[in-house]
Chain A
Amino acid sequence: MTAFFGIMTAESALSAQQTALDTISHNLANATTPGYHRQNVVLQASPPYTVPTTMGPVGTRLQEGTGVTVGGISASRDLWLDGQLQSNTTANAQATTQQQGLNSLQALLGEPNGEGLSSSLQAYWSAWSNVAEQPEDLGVRGSLLRSAGDLATQFNHLAQGIQSQQNDADQQVSTMVTQINQDTQKIATLNAQIAVAHGAGQTPNDLIDQRASTVNDLAQYVQVNTVSQQNGMLNVVVGTSLLVSADRSNQLTTKSNASTGHLDVYSSDDAVTLSQPGGKLGATINLRDTVLVNTLQQLNQIASTMVTATNTLHQTGFDLNGNPGGNFFDPTGTTAATIKLDASIVNNPSAIAASKAALATGDSTIANSMANLGSTTQASLGNSSITAYYNFAIGSVGSQMAQAQSDVDRTTAAGTFLTQQQQAVSGVSVDDQATQLLVHQRAYEAAARSLTILNGLFDTLMNAVSH
């Protein structure tokens, strides 16, 4: 045993405490860095020396401590909590996107505030009632044509609005695919760096945090499954498509669908369409291909029923000049986008067939039936009336909105709770770190003090032998 032995031990303490202080400093620097996991220096007593001694029975050996070493720097991770946060991020982003989309649809529909189709329909039925009351009056007939024109325009406006929201969704899909590709590229790059460090026996905590943070960003857009590899890499799977395989990112592509005219998302690796990817992308595709399509189909069904039922009835009647009724709506426009008044009637109020017999101008049997068409059950609407069918469609949008709103509320609350939990485990508490700072500072001071004392001992010895 040498006189320098204790000095070496003290020096190991200075060095270890310095590392601990550096790590606390790193933690405090990253106290507000998203995705950062608190790092902890793992201190271990270094292996003891076994030395013979003259104390005790002959042959007694002592194990004498050699100080402290840094066993490693670990990050406080709770993989289960991190996974919960990630899947909640997906659910929250999905619900929020769904809610925003439905909000736009609600605004377009303009119900129940008198800006929607229900007002136009009501005005149209009342206009027919007015004709039924005064079938001879050209002014009243002209009002009916204006109401019918307004109704058709309102249908057209709704159809265009829905199509424009679908086109917006396409643009969003395109932008999101770019974001997703950037994220998967970044994850692949980080995978490569992590594998290098892993190979050198290190745990690259900060790179792992960056990668987790990127995966979390990706999880907003799509529902992500991750598979850890032996070499520290992380594979990323969406649906059945492998988006990150080791250090390679499989980029997504978009392609216009010939039948819908909208963008489909393909995984370039296996040419599979991502139909229900979850997250923002999933919600956007769902809005575009299901919610908006359903509402448009319902409007189309109403428009088509209006055109067919109105024309059929109109043709059983006679106009003001005793001629048989023609088409009221243009029979070629049977969708919400294309419904319009027939050219034969649009500027010709006397061509409205209000009477059931030729030249029975005071008779308004047909006009009266037209006025009641809105509340008459229609086979094409599943034996529902036009009014009830439309009101149901609005209620259905409302139900989806209420569901989305409740999903947003639920996942937002869960997100806050999980963030708290995750932070409790992995976050940086300034007060805790400050306490640790004091502890390691004191330990450092103690080591320095013991070094001074050992140095004093050495001085004493040197002075004794030099005389």
Chain B
Amino acid sequence: MDNQVTLQGWGAQATADIDNALAAYSASQQQIATGRRINTPGDDPAGVVFVLSTQGALAANSSQFQRNGLIHGQLQTTDDALNSLETIFTRARDLAVAAASDGVPRSSYLTEAQSLLQSAVQAANQTYNGAYLFAGSKTTPTSLGGASAPFTLSGTTVTYNGDTQSLTRAVGNGQQVTVNVSGNNLQNMFNVLGSFVTNLTNNDGTSIRNSLNAFDSALQNILSARAQVGVQTNLADRVSSQLQTEDTTLSQALSQTRDVDMAAAATRFNQAGIAYQAAIQSSAHIFQKSLLDYMG
């Protein structure tokens, strides 16, 4: 009497069928609820390594993108300050041209020239988020070794207290930009401006005439510094837009590995639901009748 069908054998099969159907049902439900195919490392061990490294790359990318906003701001502020200096210095050159002619009252230009010198020092001592823009690496008061600012004015002499270091910042994708214009690039301008005030004070027309070329070359220094800032801003902006493109690409790759195809998942969920209901319904009917019911 082998190969009989028994209550326990049937029960074991029915239980296993229901368990399997319920497990599939619950798994597809979890996928839909989380939207993810990989919820734990065991769901896809190779996939999870990719998910972790891609999530890391995305987080680093987004953090870099935010920093690039600050870097852009710093370069913009530097350019604004250089623009102020250019305006100040252009005005000073106009005064110098006027004061170069004999027979003009040079002393009438003195007050404005002194004021321009002070404004230029102020502009050169500007900060961005608390850091000096034109001090090389000496960006904080402490680092200036006792000086009150990167540029200090004593009489008509402007002293630069910073250093010549370029400050580089990572902008992502292995690229670096130089975010500062070191103050020594402005030294020439302050020398010319200081001498102009001295020459006005001394009513020295010859020296003023002789300094006009120096004015031109100092102005050229500022213009080339602005051009350099422009190049660095473009580089930072270009990398930022690369980061945005990469963000899209990485997000898509992450989604393809980690997330469920909703349409397929919904179909699987429905199928699993039907299979589960069929399993419990058919199991409920298994043991309703036996031969004993017909014996009497």
Contacts and interface: CB of A to CB of B under 8 A. Distances in A.
A289 interface: no
Interface stretch (B133-141, B209-217, B268-276): B133-141
B292 interface: yes
Contacts of B180: 362
Interface stretch (B38-46, B85-93, B117-125, B219-227): B38-46
B60 interface: yes
Interface in B36-70: 38-46, 48-49, 51-53, 55-56, 59-60, 63-64, 67, 70
Contact of B49 (A320, A394, A402, A416): A394
Nearest to B40: A106
Interface in A397-447: 397-402, 404-405, 412-413, 415-416, 419-420, 422-425, 427-432, 434-435, 437-438
Interface stretch (A7-15, A123-131, A217-225, A308-316): A123-131
Interface residues of A, number: 77
B33 interface: no
A361 B138 contact: yes
B67 A129 contact: yes
A392 interface: yes
B41 A424 contact: no
B130 interface: yes
Nearest to A355: B137
A32 B290 CA distance: 15
A415 B12 CA distance: 9
Nearest to A419: B12
Question: How would you classify the secondary structure of chain A's contact residues: helix, strand, loop or mixed?
Answer: helix
A136 B290 CA distance: 86
B143 A109 contact: no
A206 interface: no
A363 B292 CA distance: 93
B52 A118 contact: yes
B41 A395 contact: yes
A217 B6 CA distance: 22
B16 interface: yes
A58 B180 CA distance: 139
Interface stretch (B97-105, B164-172, B243-251, B277-285): B164-172
Contact of A398 (B41, B59, B135): B41
A109 B52 CA distance: 12
Given A320-B142, A321-B142, A402-B45, A419 B56 contact: no
B53 A429 contact: no
B167 to A, nearest CB: 5
A118 B55 contact: yes
Name the residue among A103, A357, A360, A438 with the largest chain B CB count within 10 angstroms: A360
B49 A362 contact: no
Contact of A419 (B9, B45, B292): B9
A437 B13 contact: no
A43 to B, nearest CB: 14
A368 B170 contact: yes
Contact of A122 (B16, B41, B48, B60): B60
B170 A322 contact: no
Contacts of A420: 9, 12-13
A106 B130 CA distance: 45
A424 B3 contact: yes
Interface residues of B, number: 61
A357 B163 CA distance: 12
Interface string A312-343: 00000000111000000000000000000000
Contact of B45 (A123, A395, A437): A395
Given A125-B60, A320-B140, A394 B169 contact: no
Given A129-B67, A132-B170, A437 B16 contact: no
A405 B43 CA distance: 10
Nearest to A426: B6
Nearest to B258: A112
Given A126-B63, A320-B140, A360-B143, A427 B40 contact: no
Contacts of B264: none
Interface in A179-200: none
A84 to B, nearest CB: 14
B291 interface: yes
B260 interface: no
B169 A133 contact: yes
A134 interface: yes
A431 B290 contact: yes
B251 to A, nearest CB: 15
B142 A359 contact: yes
A102 B45 CA distance: 13
B56 A432 contact: no
B84 to A, nearest CB: 21
Interface in B1-23: 1-9, 11-13, 16, 19
A365 B5 CA distance: 78
B143 A395 contact: no
Contacts of B230: none
A415 B169 CA distance: 63
Contacts of B139: 135-136, 361-362
A419 B5 CA distance: 11
A132 B64 CA distance: 11
B138 A392 contact: no
A423 B1 CA distance: 11
A82 interface: no
A424 B9 contact: yes
A391 interface: yes
A32, A109, A361, most chain B CB atoms within 10 A:
A361
A392 to B, nearest CB: 7
Contact of B42 (A34, A106, A413): A106
A362 B67 contact: no
A209 interface: no
A437 B169 CA distance: 93
A111 B9 contact: no
Given A320-B140, A364-B169, A113 B295 contact: no
Given A362-B132, A400-B42, 4 more contacts: A111-B41, A129-B63, A136-B140, A401-B41
25 contacts: A31-B6, A31-B7, A111-B52, A122-B56, A125-B60, A129-B67, A129-B170, A133-B71, A136-B129, A320-B140, A360-B138, A361-B138, A362-B131, A362-B136, A368-B170, A387-B53, A391-B52, A402-B44, A415-B16, A420-B9, A424-B5, A424-B9, A425-B2, A428-B7, A431-B290
7 smallest CB-CB distances across A and B, nearest first, come from A401-B42, A398-B41, A423-B9, A427-B6, A398-B45, A362-B139, A360-B137
